[in-house]
Amino acid sequence: MNKKNGRCGRILRIGIILEAAGIAVMLLFFANMQKDREQATLSGSVFPSGRESVSDGLVTVEGEELSGSEMISIGETAQADGDYIKWVDFNVTADAMRCALQYDLDTYGSEIHIDWIVLLAYAGCRGGGNFNAKSLSYIRDLAERMKNSETTVEKLSNELEYFDYYYEAYSAVLGGYVGEYDIERTDESGRTTMERVYGVKVFSPIAKGFGYSDYDDFGASRSYGYRRPHLGHDMLGVIGTPIVAIESGYVEAIGWNRYGGWRIGIRSFDGKRYYYYAHLRQNYPYAEGLEEGSVVTAGDVIGYMGHTGYSTTENTNNIEVVHLHWGLQLIFDESQKDGNNEIWVDCYDLTNFLYGYRSAVEKVGDTREWIRSVPMSDPAVEEYEAE
């Protein structure tokens, strides 16, 4: 009996050892796989993520997903050639953006002007692309070292392996957000003039004075037509809320989309950013005169909130909740514009940041039209129109 129990005990111990070894091998495998994923992201290679599913076979066109016979093979995308960034996870917090921005504004015109994107790229390097409370310390530390001439952008590029990647990636998101522009000012005598200033020259997509609610819904499931992730940010409000251009650019797409309803696509002048505004108002979706090719200045009213979409029939309200869906697509190469190679970023923290910059608007008589209250001139618009 004791011999039998001894054999059973040895067998049990061997089984436990083998099981533990198997678990260790699996953990090592998944750790290496995660390391490879992170390495692939930093080196700019393409890989499926939570926003692209091989099993679902999802692709997107102008922010709205396609499937079935319209699908492009993700395997082909993964083999795409080209020396450009293939993926960006934009995890920069609103607090980090505000912190870095203040150093940029405070040092403008001084001997050492600190670029806020440099600070964010450095924090991205230190945090492996993730941002938390420590990120603000990284930003402040670098800003002070740059002020004291202890380091330069060139040194950071040479010392930090992935600094150039983060700088290019974050520049693609935020590149047109800060700079010089002209804004109308009124003096004590009531005389108005255009004044050249330096600062943030982008706006929240919701006009000043109009309320909204939102939450981080990027990647949430959507089921109309087929299962797919949500590749944008929803801002809930009331019908007719004026929607404004976040950044200056030109209208690249306008009209009906079966998923987005009445929608507008605006491209930044440098070609890096494509802004997608969807579910605009039934019967009166757009600002008067807006059409494909129109040039808009940041803060201009471009349309009105509604709940159109989820229908192949134009001008249909099939979205249950009134809201604006806005998305931001990054484009490093034109091959990324449409198809499975698209890069859409999480706009929740960006929306939070933009809340501090809202364009004041006023109603045009008894019409349904709204226009911006404070005239602004963006040099980027002038340069584009002069070409």
Label residue 68 by pLDDT band (50, 70, 90). very low
171: CB partners within 8 A, 6+ apart: 117, 272
pLDDT digits (tens, 9 = 90+) for 198-246: 999 999 999 999 999 999 988 787 756 556 688 899 999 999 999 999 9
Residue count of the chain = 387
Q: How confident is the model over 353-378, as pLDDT tens digits?
A: 999 999 999 999 999 999 999 999 99
Position 315 scores a pLDDT of: 98
- Contact in structure between 161 and 121 (CB atoms under 8 Å): no
d(CA 46, CA 360): 41
**pLDDT given at position 81:** 56
The pLDDT value given to residue 271: 97
- What is residue 20's predicted lDDT score, i.e. its pLDDT? 53
The candidate with the shortest Cα–Cα distance to 139, out of 185, 106, 172, 188, is 106
Task: Read off the pLDDT of residues 246-301 as tens digits, 9 standing for 90 and up.
Answer: 999 999 999 999 999 999 999 999 999 999 999 999 999 999 999 999 999 999 99
Q: What is the pTM of this model?
A: 0.81
**pLDDT for res 39:** 42
Give the integer Cα–Cα distance in Å for 261 and 309.
3
- CA Rg value for the chain: 25
- Cα–Cα distance measured from residue 26 to residue 10, given in angstroms and rounded to the nearest whole number: 24
